[in-house]
Amino acid sequence: MSTQYVAREPDATGFIDYSDAEHRIWNTLITRQLKVIEGRACQEYLDGIEQLALPHDRIPQLGEINRVLGATTGWQVERVPALIPFQTFFELLASKRFPVATFIRSEEELDYLQEPDIFHEVFGHCPLLTNPWFAEFTHTYGKLGLAASKEQRVYLARLYWMTIEFGLVDTPQGRKIYGGGILSSPKETVYSVSSSPEHQPFDPIEAMRTPYRIDILQPVYFVLPDLKRLFDLAHEDIMGMARTAAELGLHAPKFPSKTKAA
């Protein structure tokens, strides 16, 4: 997949310079999304947002995020180009580094873009990287992906999609969102916890058997009983589950097949 975006290079001190227009886009995105996630995001995510203390008037520098992540879970973010190969992605996660593309979407793609920008990565994913359960699962996932075959990685990709990107969780306060792909999208934030999509209790094998499309609202979401389930999953035989999923085969897609599914 080609991209129109170019990641920004830091200067000799590590500082990345963004334009006033780009800072305004960040401000629009974060102020809007903070309102939308009220009452919908899980508490662990909200705790992370509080710890990160993301600026509203400008795009944060990666060093600011790294200070918080380093102090909470030992993670770091790492600047990457817009799109990176699977191999690089797994290498980064296996070494507790989360890839962040240092560009921000254009005004024209304010509501949705297919490739992850700095708003998606920082606002969507970094808050939960302050949480030890989420951080442990993401680290384990990277190590497994690094050792996996090309065929196995496809099953791991579905697991990632149904958890880290588009996962929901049941809490004493009701059903909440923890997936970064949802939390960075105003439309999907509202839709995912409504009665419109299908909600299934989380089952890793079922998640790995469920096809998805990247360019639509998800027809089905998997719901964790609590966020600690991710930590527990990190200590289970995920690759054994991937083998079982491969033997059982994929479910029929719950969406039209006009563009690629994974």
Per-residue pLDDT of the chain (262 residues; tens, 9 = 90+): 567 888 999 999 999 999 999 999 999 999 999 999 999 999 999 999 999 999 999 999 999 999 999 999 999 999 998 789 999 999 999 999 999 999 999 999 998 888 899 999 999 999 999 999 999 999 999 999 999 999 999 999 999 999 999 999 999 999 999 999 999 999 999 999 999 999 999 999 999 999 999 999 999 999 999 999 999 999 999 999 999 999 999 999 999 876 555 6
> What domains are there in the chain, each with its CATH number?
20-248 (1.10.800.10)
Distances 96 to 91, 136, 211 between C-alpha atoms, Å: 9, 9, 28
Q: What is the pTM of this model?
A: 0.95
Cα separation, 145 vs 143, in Å, equals: 5
Report DSSP state, residue 126. Answer: G
Tell me if residue 76 falls in helix, strand or coil. Answer: strand
